Structure formats: structure tokens, C-alpha cells
Amino acid sequence: MPKVTVNFTRCVQDSQEYGSTDDHMVSRVFFTIETEGRSVPCYADLKQTVGSDYLKGDIEVAPPKTQKDEKPYRGPSTTRPSVSRRRRTTARTWDRRA
């Protein structure tokens, strides 16, 4: 399993540009994901209901996207056979428990 480091660089809070409305506050968090000698600049949008408790309220976190082309971040080495095998094994284990 590769080691992953996430370095947060900035946060733009409550921006209409990213989707804030009277009902929801949307903020965008910028960060880099460093793994296996690569550093990928990314961002993720966070959405929270206006007036909800900041510490206890639900915050919807969107999957990270790359800043370069705004495509979803796929993670390091998503094509390695051992990772795919592990995912299939885990999925079968959960199917049997149901």
C-alpha cells in the first residue's frame, strides 16, 4: 500500500461561483496529493446547509478532482492487479455476509 500525503493549500469559503445559495454554503478546498513520487494538485467542494451546526451538522464532500483538467482523481496506480484482486475479494466477502 503506497503512502499518501495530503497538503491543504487554501480554502475559498461560501462562494457563489462554486454553487453557494441561500440554502447551502459551498466552499472549495485546494490541496495536493503526494504519492509514489508524484504530486497532483486537486480540489474538492464542500456543501453545508446554511444555519446548521458547524461542528455537528452534515457536510457533503465531493470526490476530489484534479486542478489541471478537472477530471476525477483516480488515485495512485489504479491498474495494479493486486489492488483489483483485493477489491473483488472484499466485494465477495460483503456479498456473503448479506
Number of H helices, E strands in the chain: 1, 5
Q: Answer whether residue 2 shows pLDDT above 50.
A: yes
Number of domains in the chain: 1
Helix (H) or strand (E) holding 94: helix 81-97
**9-52 pLDDT per residue, tens:** 999 988 888 888 889 889 999 999 998 888 999 999 999 989 88
Do 26 and 20 meet the contact criterion of CB atoms below 8 Å apart? yes
**41-87 pLDDT per residue, tens:** 999 999 998 988 878 888 899 999 998 877 777 766 444 444 444 44
In this predicted structure, what is the pLDDT of residue 43? 93
Number of residues that make up the chain:
98
Give the C-alpha separation, 89 to 49, whole Å.
38
